[in-house]
Structure 1
Amino acid sequence: MTLAIQISWAPDRLPHVAEKLGIGKGDAAEARIQERLMPFVQDILPGRTVIVHFGTRETLRLGPGGRNGISSDIKRMLPYGQGGDVVKVVAKVPQGANGVLESKTVYAEPEGWGIISALDVDDTIKLTQTSDPIGILRSTFVSDATPITGMPELYAYLQTLVTNTAPWFYLSASPYNLYSFLSDFRQRYYPQGTMILRDASWMNLSGLLSNLTLGTQEYKVDRMSKVHKWFPKRKMILIGDSTQSDPEAYGEIFRKHPGWVHLILIRKVTDIAAVGIESKNEPKRFEKAFKGVPENIWHVFEDPKECYKLVSDAVSK
């Protein structure tokens, strides 16, 4: 259960971002920038604790948060019936506090299937059409989030193949400031699941861009190793894309935890204007990333329709 605590709006930074994106005062997109930028320009309060009501039976104290206002606690919970039960968690905060104050906890058995999907300001399940720095900023702060054609349907189909208790993890290199934005997008198009973002806060444009593009392989391998500790007996399906380091991270995690990963799907991104995208889609890149991974485990696709039989065959084994 992860919670970020941030307060104190600083509106003077809004014009700086609007200027970078070529948006003038009063532009229709300015209000959207202000809404999405707010979590980035609030002051962080480290060392705070938060009380949450877990269902109707327990009250928990989370924290204290670290220097980035992030609290990551492991709590032993009371049993709530059978696997698949969903428990509502509500933060107890002062009147007038806003933000994401509710969450859901799903009870899952130790065995069965699990899915890890890249959910980023990139191109696995969300279309940005560019990897240019200003394009990324515009996609993050201005544009409507658009799902990749066919991906919501593929995820919905995959959900019908696994049990209700199959845990979904959406792994992103984005900072927790983007939680609300990405969570809203996920809720509109994709199955319920745990969002794992970077324990970092951003206070300048270069910091955000670095967060989204640098050290992503090491970060994703570390977070997937944590998921392995939680569910070492689950059979995992990993879904990513070719824009950044998903192939390398997924290949590494397969070799690091033998027998855990049963299927890897990589979308070959060809519909964005990105420098070097051709080299990222070269067969030799994937062969190197998946060295030691059986050929029947990893697949590179362009159309999500190619994956229906792959996931069906994998889950039916």
Structure 2
Amino acid sequence: MSPLKPAFFELAVRADARWDRFSRGVRRRMGLARPLRILPYRGYGTAERVLIQARVLEDRFVKPSHLRRSLVGSAIASYKRYATVEIPGARVAVHWGDKRWEGTTDDEGFLELWVAPPPGVRPGWNVVELELLEPEPQGVPIVSAQVLVAGPQAELGIISDIDDTVIVTGVTNPLKRAWALFLTEHRTRLPFEGVDAFYSALREGHGGLADNPIFYVSSSPWNLYEHLDEFLALHRIPNGPLLLRDWGLSRHGFAPGGGHGHKLEKIRGVLGTLETLPFILIGDSGQEDAEHYRTIVREYPGRVRCVYIRNVPSRAQRAVELERLAQEVREAGSQLVVVDDTVSAARHAAQAGWIRWQEVPRVQEHQQEDADARTVLDALGRKGS
């Protein structure tokens, strides 16, 4: 990249933030400004340090999903998710037990604050409270944010892609991707067959009580956080921090575009924080997951037990590339396994000792149930067209 480009984008981001402040000030004086809200994200960490994440935005009053009954309603909700007005420089207080910290949002309204948890913090999910201090705190409710603390019982960590790994999106097809992102609800989208049971088995580990942490990394924008969170809950896929991407103008350029290198940054952050845990990485063959995971295997020798790549329809040359990448991963001390379905991955994981063998039939059962549900939904779709 030309040395002038970072300076240009830095200047553009600052100018955009100043415009947002000026615009909101004008709208406030005219009585047109919407109230503010804190949108909490799941954080993660250890007993020594934890990442608190949130965003401060104007409240767009997106209608709850159970009240949206039509394609038009879904489209309006999607528009509101993307047409955000961020609040840069907002001061937020974080309360955790008797401890308190303050943080300030960046130019895109994001809060990222590393804190030391209270003494004796319990492993698993903890709850912190977020309070807006500036600007305009009046009427902005205090919200709760979940924080995942990895405990000593964890055997390994799991990092999974989302698009075409957990959720069927057809992201290699631009039209399908646009439909999936903008015009569908979590209630009408389906997971890959058996993912819920397989990820639950990975979370429980070899002995069934490991409570292994799971992280989801995606090229989807933070604007879809609530949408994806609802999807995981609806399909009983284990909770985990969602590590997404900022779309639009940023100090790195314009997004989407420019590949998926941001995933590397997120994965490095997780491995650097949970530095004693080995990991399993899960992705698909349609994008650059295998290449990024190969890079992680090389950068963190001995930390990656296995890379699972779901085989999705792609160009013919991709199979040859995956064979080469698998060889490079083996040379780096790990393994890359290409699977056609979730049961195949579960059998391999059971043989390696990462999940219990009795979980494999459950994964197979859920895979069949999800396949039957997809057949019914496809039939209804053909009937309605």
**TM-score, structure 1 as length reference:** 0.79
Distance 1:47 1:290, change over 3 A: farther
Compute the displacement of 1:89 (Å). 2.2
1:94-173 aligned at under 5 Å gives the runs: 94=137, 97=140, 101-109=143-151, 112-119=155-162, 122-129=163-170, 131-143=172-184, 144-161=188-205, 163-173=209-219
Cα displacement string for residues 87-112 of structure 1 (whole angstroms, at most 9, x for unaligned residues): 212323557658x9432123213663
Matched, 1:247 2:290: yes
Cα displacement string for residues 270-309 of structure 1 (whole angstroms, at most 9, x for unaligned residues): 3xxxxxx123642x21133344322872100111100112
- Where 2:225 maps in the other structure, the secondary structure is helix
Residues 164 and 171, structure 2, Cα contact 8 Å, conserved in 1: no
Residue 349 of structure 2 corresponds to 311
Matched, 1:197 2:244: yes
User: Within 2, Cα distance between the matches of 1:36 and 1:78?
Assistant: 38
Q: Which amino acid aligns with 1:191?
A: P
Compute the displacement of 1:42 (Å). 2.1
Residue 91 of structure 1 corresponds to 130
Residues 124 and 148, structure 1, Cα contact 8 Å, conserved in 2: yes
How many corresponding residue pairs?
283
User: Within 2, Cα distance between the matches of 1:8 and 1:92?
Assistant: 15
Matched, 1:301 2:339: yes
Match of 1:60 among 101, 124, 144: 101
Q: Which amino acid aligns with 1:90?
A: E
Residues 53 and 89, structure 1, Cα contact 8 Å, conserved in 2: yes
User: Within 2, Cα distance between the matches of 1:137 and 1:102?
Assistant: 32
- Where 1:294 maps in the other structure, the secondary structure is helix
Unaligned runs of 5+ in 2: 1-51, 63-68, 356-385
Residue 278 of structure 1 corresponds to 315
244-253 or 142-151, which moves further after superposition?
Answer: 142-151
Compute the displacement of 1:175 (Å). 2.0
User: Within 1, Cα distance between the matches of 2:180 and 2:57?
Assistant: 24
Residues 203 and 213, structure 2, Cα contact 8 Å, conserved in 1: no
- Where 1:299 maps in the other structure, the secondary structure is strand
Q: Which amino acid aligns with 2:242?
A: M
Residue 312 of structure 2 corresponds to 269
Residues 264 and 297, structure 1, Cα contact 8 Å, conserved in 2: yes
Distance 1:47 1:315, change over 3 A: farther
- Where 2:328 maps in the other structure, the secondary structure is coil
Q: Which amino acid aligns with 1:126?
A: I
Residues 6 and 43, structure 1, Cα contact 8 Å, conserved in 2: yes
Distance 1:36 1:268, change over 3 A: same
User: Within 2, Cα distance between the matches of 1:76 and 1:130?
Assistant: 39
Matched, 1:76 2:119: no
Q: Which amino acid aligns with 1:244?
A: Q
- Where 1:89 maps in the other structure, the secondary structure is strand
- Give the RMSD, CA atoms, in angstroms: 2.9
- Where 1:53 maps in the other structure, the secondary structure is strand
Compute the displacement of 1:197 (Å). 1.1
Matched, 1:226 2:263: no
